[in-house]
Amino acid sequence: MTVAVPANVVTGLLGAGKTSLIRRLLAASPSHERWAVLVNEMGQVGIDEALFAGGSGTVRELPGGCLCCTLGVPFRVAVVDLLRRVAPDRLIIEPTGIGHPAEIVDRLQGPELGPALRLETILTVVDPRRLAEQRVHDLDVFRHQVALADGLVASHGDACTSDDWDRFRFLAAACYPPKGLVADGRDADPSWLTQAGAERRALLSDSAAHEHDLSPDEAPALEPAPARPARHVTASRRVSACGWIWLPDDCFDYDALLAVMARLRPVQRLKGVFRTDQGWYAIQYDGTDLVAERSVWRRDSRLEVIAEGTMDWDGIEADLLEALASA
């Protein structure tokens, strides 16, 4: 049986600082490990490979277009070739800054490459100095990159003002699901690439406790198993919150899931991301409307519900279990 190679995606807008971050990570990689980088460029002229020159690791370039638009054969061939030729201990993929990262993640986890790779942390590099421009926040590509990321890493830390840092922190704090890593690229550490799901989950319940002034439940967090989500309950005298995380292989029946969400309406707030038989969806209820939108999140399905008083969390979980699509 072949062992799946850990893989990471490092996204970010054009010129955000992806290559620079990967170079830092390569420089700090364990000396006994062999890392490979697949970098994709818009132009036909190979520049990025040159930018990596002198660093450690094997770099392969896939020129001539946006990775997500040329995700067919050339991408697969390049990945398979790198895996065969280099037999790396880790593969880092840097898509071009104009690419749509969700398709790349789908491809990495799809039937052709999925068995050979184990997708770990997705990092999105953000230049905080650019966050003052509303235009940047309005870019679909940027919003998708931020939504998809497990971690947000700031570049150009040496040139950022305190306002730039505030905007970066604000961006990170506004993310749902919360990021497992929010960091300054100057502190680049290979452990960022292997952020465990447990850390992400801890952050999820921390943020609920913080935002709503709740005291965390004493019960230890569960690991999710197939068709059995991890559950985190926090409660105060007046408000309670419950978060669930399902494994990414658990797939919901879209219609059944929406029906459960509609029944949950008496709650104050509901926000979730789900893998469904109709694709990945973010479903939110803000007290007025229940809205389902396509999502670029691919990591797992998760839901957070905040309600006045206590709720029958067991009953809700049972309803959600029934909404899972049968295999």
Ligand X SMILES: Nc1nc2c(ncn2[C@@H]2O[C@H](COP(=O)(O)OP(=O)(O)OP(=O)(O)O)[C@@H](O)[C@H]2O)c(=O)[nH]1
Interface positions with ligand X (CB under 6 A): 12, 14-20, 48, 51, 97, 155-159, 185
**Smallest distance, Mg ion to C-beta of residue 18, A:** 5
Instruction: Provide DSSP, 106-123.
Output: HHHHSTTTGGGEEEEEEE
Take residue 13 and report the two structure tokens written for it.
């807008």
Q: Which residue is nearest to Mg ion (CB)?
A: 19
How far apart, in whole angstroms, are the C-alpha atoms of residue 17 and residue 220? 39
Cβ at position 149, least distance to ligand X in Å: 14
**Residue number with CB closer to ligand X (122 or 270):** 122
CB of 194 to ligand X, least distance (A): 22
How far, in Å, CA of 193 to CA of 92, rounded? 9
Q: Provide, rounded to whole angstroms, the least separation between the CB of residue 73 and ligand X.
A: 23
- State the residue for tokens 């590099």: 125
156 binds, among ligand X, Mg ion, none (CB under 5 to 8 A by kind): ligand X
Integer angstrom CA distances of residue 159 from 16, 27, 127, 188, 224: 13, 22, 10, 17, 42
For residue 226, the partner it binds in ligand X, Mg ion, none, with Cβ less than 5 to 8 A by kind, is none
The CA-atom distances, in angstroms, between 43 and each of 13, 40, 92 are: 16, 9, 20
The item of ligand X, Mg ion, none sharing an interface with residue 6, based on CB under 5 to 8 Å by kind, is none
User: What is the rounded CA–CA span in Å between residue 156 and residue 160?
Assistant: 6
Strand partners, 302: 245, 273
Which of the choices ligand X, Mg ion, none does residue 155 contact, using the CB cut-off of 5 to 8 A by kind?
Answer: ligand X
Q: In whole angstroms, give the CA distance from residue 301 to residue 312.
A: 20
Residue for token pair 């700090």: 28
* Nearer of residues 145 and 301 to ligand X, judged by Cβ: 145
Of the two residues 160 and 242, which places its CB atom closer to ligand X in the complex?
A: 160
Query: Are the C-beta atoms of 205 and 20 separated by less than 8 Å?
Result: no
| Cβ distance to Mg ion smaller for residue 19 or 240 | 19
69's contact among ligand X, Mg ion, none, with CB below 5 to 8 A by partner kind, is none
Query: Which CB sits closer to ligand X, 12 or 151?
Result: 12
43 binds, among Mg ion, ligand X, none (CB under 5 to 8 A by kind): none
User: Shortest gap between Cβ of 47 and ligand X (angstroms)?
Assistant: 8
Q: Using alpha carbons only, how large is the chain's radius of gyration in Å?
A: 20
Q: How far is the CB of 135 from ligand X (least distance, A)?
A: 17
Q: Which is nearer to ligand X, 126 or 241 (CB)?
A: 126
